[in-house]
Amino acid sequence: MPLRYVHCVNAAATGMTVVSNSFIERLVLVRERVSSFDEYPFSIPSIRNLYELAIHPKVTFFVGENGAGKSTLLEAIAIVQGFNPEGGSRNFNFSTHESHSQLCNSLRLHQGNRRLRKSDGYFFRAESFFNVATEIDREFPQFLGAYGGRSLHKQSHGESFFSLVLNRFRGNGLYILDEPEAALSPSRQMAMLTAMHDLISRGSQFIIATHSPIIMAYPDATIYQLSTTEIAQVAYEETEHYRLSKLFLTQKDQMLKELLGEL
């Protein structure tokens, strides 16, 4: 049976071929829809060399250096799946600044056999969560109970994110997270692993862009590393985040001497 794909904006609204027990099973860059690979975002090496990626039914991580294309790819997935570019649930429809790329117009998502209801799922991006919190206060104050019962602006960044995870993430949903560690201490990142595991046991799927070697340690996951040449699947211990963190923690004095030029 041939695969069927859906193009841009709201993939969940279209009937798809049953393939796997997930919301998103695979993504494909429709290269004939790209007008030029010399223009952003298609000029980013990892995007230029993207053809298709399998999405893990539990957790998929995008890792790599700043500017490698992680957030750009994650944003496009969220838009294709029907989320607001600045974040929130699929009920959100606001814009403070039109800054998203055109990658979504060339990205197709192959759906699994799970159907996402409008209220099940969330797109979190650290850089615009302030705007989401403002929109909730202004347009949806009746839903504050789903965020811990008080304005997210009256909580610290870490508190507001954890209120989101513990109260708004109810399971059986698709959660697309862009650098969640920006709001979390190391101990809260560990608590995030526990919360993720609970949500996964209740039928959730996560797609996460992260720099955190703690969060990306979730054991049942696929890790894609975006580099200056490609997107490649890697083992946890092969990620630069793990190797550099381990090197620094086990050889701190030597690393500091090299970094601070004291050799």
Tell me how far CA of residue 165 lies from CA of 86, 179, 218, 243, in angstroms: 18, 14, 16, 29
So what's the pLDDT on residue 153?
Answer: 65
Which residues partner with 27 through β-bridges?
Answer: 53, 109
So what's the pLDDT on residue 195?
Answer: 94
So what's the pLDDT on residue 159?
Answer: 73
So what's the pLDDT on residue 11?
Answer: 39
So what's the pLDDT on residue 6?
Answer: 34
So what's the pLDDT on residue 59?
Answer: 97
So what's the pLDDT on residue 125?
Answer: 77
| DSSP string covering the chain | -----EESSBGGGS-----SSSSEEEEEE-GGG-S-TTSTTTTSHHHHT--EEE--SSEEEEEESTTSSHHHHHHHHHHHBT--TT-B-TT----S-----SGGGGEEEEE-S----TTS-EEEEGGGHHHHHHHHHHH-GGGGGGGTSS-GGGS-HHHHHHHIIIII--SSSEEEEE-GGGG--HHHHHHHHHHHHHHHHTT-EEEEE---TTGGG-SS-EEEEE-SS-EEEE-GGGSHHHHHHHHHHHSHHHHHHHHTT--
So what's the pLDDT on residue 200?
Answer: 95
So what's the pLDDT on residue 124?
Answer: 85
- Split the chain (263 residues) into runs of 10 and give each run's mean pLDDT: 35 40 93 94 94 96 93 93 81 57 91 77 71 62 62 66 81 92 90 94 95 96 93 96 95 92 69
